[in-house]
Structure 1
Amino acid sequence: MSVIKFGTDGWRALSAREFTFSNFAVVVQAIANLLVREELPEQPTDRKEVLIGYDARALAADFAAEAASILAGNGIPTAMTRRPTPTPAVAHAIADRLALGAFVLTASHNPPEYMGVKFIPWYAGPALSDITSKIEAEVARVYETQDIRRDDSAVPDTLDPRRAYFDALRYLIDFDAIREAGLRIAVDPMHGTTMGYLDTVLRAAGCDVRAIHDTPSPAFGGGLPDPSEERLGPLMDLVRTDYLDVGLANDGDGDRFGIIDFEGRYIAPCDFISLVTDYHLRDARVAPGAKVVRTVATTHLIDAIAERYGAEAVETPVGFKWVGEELRKGALLGGEESGGLSRGDHIPEKDGIFACLLAAEMIAKMGTPLTDQLRRLRREFPEHRWFRRNLHVDPERREAVMERFRSLGERAQVAGQKVAKVDTRDGVKVWLADGSWLLGRPSGTEPLVRVYAEARSEACQEALESLMLEMIAS
């Protein structure tokens, strides 16, 4: 039986344990089979080239070369990067080159002992379930047959997506405003793929850039390449000590963002996405009825902002693939609480570099630090207290805990409020009468139940936090 579970983010596993060259070959061959047979849903028949990119992890380039060999063995033309490259740059190259798709060797923000591979289809966004289910079924078949075809003599074309990607960013971002503002910016690529990307475009825009963790390190300097508040202490210190305007960070493959304000404080993704929503919708050029997209776990402050400007907020399940699908349908922008953001005139894939540049543009054009912009937003839309907790639950108790979440709908009151609605499409989400809400979702990979909540008062927040502990009490 195959140990390979191929989902939205592809397949991630411990390197040299589950993620081996033999198992990886099965994944590549399975996808090659589907591409050659033209069996993926809505697969275009006029595209042939498949791109290959990789991050800075140990053996990532070797796995990329193995993918090129197998694809060549199946008659599929390839182009491969020659250095670690951000996932959004590879995704953009799919659209720019009209490619059939791309393999990206990355485990994103996971620890260095992990390796991963994702397949990005021709529309340059995360693979949807109808595609990943086909891939997983074919992986199981190839795992049994071990019918792998290679051409080790084939040499893939060289892929350097920087110029086209930078050109796209110049269209998306107001670099003239950034240049005029003369911003002083700290950048932390976390030893990942955005080295030579984010810092380069900011320097080209006349910014004074101070970079840390900007040397290659397959072990990510002994840390975790995750731009979360817990991991950005050095960036916070640099912003404070050098009196900089902002600190900008990306994860290992560049699809997530982390932002530090001029006072050295972390700006949570929900807060930044809310600022981005307000920044775009207040622009008179935005058509009435524009759609903004958020996942089920992301702050409803976005909904309140959208309502003010006559826009529509669209809720999706957790996972940027759903956000990307709405962007492809014409939504203005979309984001998720884990640090993913993109816009409808860009790729339908989360792009941490774009998000960081957008932060610089907002500081430059608004003429105030992000913290001041956020304070203004909170004055206009008070009492949106979003928070998240990871509750450790033994696997054998996880279903019982989720049943407790489902039973909340039967209570007369939750956190002092009547229950307005219960939604079980993606975990269990409970809406309360005052607009507060609580969401419980089991992790598919860890012994956790992830709980997200938003309270409309301090008292409600305290009650919801107590309720979280009640849910996991034995």
Structure 2
Amino acid sequence: MLIHSIATTPFEGQRPGTSGLRKKVKVFQQEHYLENFVQSVFDSIGDYSGQTLVVGGDGRFYNLEATQTILKMAAASGFGKVLVGQNGILSTPAASCVIRKYNAYGGLILSASHNPAGPEEDFGIKYNMGNGGPAPESVTEAVFEQTGKIEWYQTIQCDDVDLSSTGTTEIAGMTVEVIDSVADYAELMQSLFDFDAIRDLLASDFRMAFDAMHAVTGPYATTIFEDMLGAPKGTVMNGVPKTDFGGGHPDPNLTYAHELVDVLYGEDAPDFGAASDGDGDRNMILGNHFFVTPSDSLAVIAANAELIPGYKAGIAGIARSMPTSGAADRVAEAMGLSCYETPTGWKFFGNLMDDGKVTMCGEESFGTGSNHVREKDGLWAVLCWLNILAARKTSVEAIITEHWAKFGRNYYSRHDYEGVDSAAATQVLQNVRDQFVSLCGTELAGRTVASCDDFSYTDPVDGSVSENQGVRVLFEDGSRIIFRLSGTGTSGATIRIYLESFEADTGKQGMDAQDALAGFIAAADDISGLQKLSGRDKPTVIT
């Protein structure tokens, strides 16, 4: 087969964000668009001649077409082997697992995570390194630089590879192995958790529901929960992946996972509920009529780690993204562990895990994980909770309330304003920056402002610096109001406001979070002018 060099010209705006390049499907379908980006990745990652590449995605619209394009380009570019998930499917944590297990050079993951899918919706692609984690900024910036000067890309002309069944084939001297999408990941989970104890729990009068939201985790959840752990058939809701995710928004929160919420807050509700997102790296945890914030979930998992076989020997430390509440910090302090505060983006945890500084990490955006892979992992978090519930033999609500009584409660909420005009969104944050000096020492929501800043992070492993990671108003008692623009959308801007107030008094820990934070919510609007600038009188999503 002949290698073809195809002349091309750069496209504007191919800068990878915190989770790769995300655009509308129609943008990716432009002639040369995907190919330009893939070639720019290949041109920026070093000498991979003869090495192994992992390819897979969340099954959204355009996944299969993109996979075939990448296989042909990988063969033309000199990779020795590609491991590709059956039907082009690999959840993001499963892709990380496969990269690590088979010592691959790296991987291309096709996903726009929790964003909607379909011909008119979103698509995404990102490169993961040989450690299984997202490429660091040094690599993504090199890729972006290359997209601005690319003149050609390489491919071969051949028939598409049959991805419908496992097996091995060869194209242009490169081996393509179609692998079972679930098997390696399920094997890893079985090595970490007490499947016998969870199986006994699910065989008792304990009931659970898991919502795969017609996204990638359907086959993984069905295999693990129903086939391996014996949960009744039907435990997994919306378990068949669809290219448009059933027309839903596969973001596991109280707004978009409303079908699961209705079940867990309905009559005769199950004891436990969980959901995962489009590519399987996020999770939401619910008890019977009870919601667990992602910040609390991370703290509880870390505090109970010794109950999980894979972590029985102890954990090295904990890391959380800056907007995530300080609940994990209090656990780390009590356990004598280091706790790191990083910018948003899972790639910042990778260095800490590779250097042995932390074992568990999490983000308030429904991402939790550990050093078993280098991505957040939705099903891993669910299995953590099931293992803890099996060991402690109590309810989700009881575990959380006991945790608050021991460590204190961090009242916490995130308000998302999605699809805001980009200029208006930028001005919202600038309004707060302009008041950094004048706010210090004043009272907001009955609390005294101690300091204000734009969060900056210096990586303790490689010394790299990440600036402008979120505008913070910090109070003397540890409470916080944080403003940040999200990089996960494909149109307009998403303004995220994070609100946090610590309460040590057990008699005051039972309030609804929105009620407890009402003063902070009003203060955030007052100092930012958010509602006036955005034209919105309420958030799109509250979590």
- TM-score between both structures, scaled by the size of structure 1: 0.90
Superposition deviation, residue 382 in structure 1: 3.3
- 1:456 counterpart letter in structure 2: F
Q: Give the Cα–Cα distance (whole angstroms) in 1 for the partners of residues 184 and 50 of structure 2.
A: 19
Secondary structure in 1 aligned to 2:100?
A: helix
1:13 aligns with 2:23: yes
Provide the secondary structure at the position in 2 that maps to 1:149: strand
CA–CA distance in structure 2, aligned partners of residues 251 and 140 of structure 1: 32
The alignment status of 1:78 with 2:117, answered yes or no, reads: no
Match of 1:138 in 2: 146
Checking the alignment, whether the CA contact within 8 Å between 1:4 and 1:23 is kept in structure 2 is: no
**Would you tell me which structure has more strand in proportion to its own residues?**
2
| Bigger Cα displacement from structure 2, 415-424 vs 319-328 | 415-424
Counterpart pick for 1:168 among 179, 188, 192: 188
Paired letter, 1:410:
S
Matched with 2:438 is 410
Q: What is the one-letter code of the residue matched to 1:114? A: D
Question: Aligned pairs, how many?
Answer: 462
Selected match of 1:111 from 113, 116, 120: 116
Q: CA deviation at 1:447?
A: 3.1
3-state DSSP of counterpart to 1:431: strand
Structure with the higher helix share, 1 or 2: 1
Does 2:283 correspond to 1:257? yes
| 1:137-191 CA distance string (max 9 Å, x none) | 122222xx13333353527221224322222111111112112222432121111
Q: Residue 231 of structure 2 aligns to which amino acid in structure 1?
A: C
Percent sequence identity over matched residues?
A: 26
Structure 1 position 47, deviation (Å): 7.3
What is aligned with 1:348?
374
Change in Cα spacing, 1:129 to 1:19, as seen in structure 2 (3 Å) is farther
AA aligned to 1:293 is A
Report SS of the residue matched to 1:137.
Answer: helix
Taking the TM superposition and a 5 Å limit, the aligned residue runs for 1:427-466 are 427-444=470-487, 445=489, 446-456=492-502, 461-466=517-522
**Take 1:216 and 1:21, find their aligned partners in 2: how far apart are those partners?**
28
Name the structure 2 match of 1:366. Answer: 392
Q: Which residue pairs with 1:67 in the alignment? A: 70
User: In structure 2, how many angstroms separate the alpha carbons of the residues matched to 1:377 and 1:225?
Assistant: 30
CA distance in 1, matches of 2:482, 2:179: 42
Query: What's the counterpart of residue 156 of structure 2?
Result: 150
Matched, 1:127 2:135: yes
Rate the CA distance shift 1:24–1:18 in 2: closer, same or farther, 3 A: closer
Aligned to 1:41: none
Instruction: Report the aligned-residue RMSD.
Output: 2.4
Give the letter for the 2:127 counterpart. Answer: F
Question: Counterpart of 1:422 in 2: which secondary structure?
Answer: strand
Aligned match of 2:213: 190
The counterpart of 2:225, out of the listed 202, 213, 217, is 202
Shift of 1:394: 3.7
Contact in 2 for aligned 1:28/1:71 (Cα 8 Å): no
Q: Equivalent residue for 2:320?
A: 294
Q: What one-letter code is carried by the residue in structure 2 that aligns with 1:339?
A: F
Q: Which amino acid aligns with 1:208?
A: P
Partner-residue secondary structure (3-state), 2:154: coil
Most deviating of 91-100 and 150-159: 150-159
AA paired with 1:135? V
Distance 1:398-1:220 versus aligned 2 partners, 3 A rule: closer
Question: What stretches of structure 1 of length at least 5 have no aligned partner?
Answer: 39-44
Q: What's the counterpart of residue 32 of structure 1?
A: 42
Change (3 A) 1:427 1:117: same
Q: Secondary structure at the match of 1:98?
A: coil
Is the 2:250–2:277 contact (alpha carbons within 8 Å) kept by the matching residues of 1? yes
3-state SS of paired residue (1:452): strand
For 1:82, what is the secondary structure of its paired residue? strand
Per-residue deviation, 1:73: 0.9
**1:241: how far off?**
4.9
The answer as to whether partners of 1:93 and 1:161 remain within 8 angstroms in 2 is no
Q: What is the DSSP-based 3-state SS (H/G/I as helix, E as strand, rest coil) of the residue aligned with 2:336? A: coil
| TM-score (normalised: structure 2) | 0.79
Q: Which amino acid aligns with 2:485?
A: P
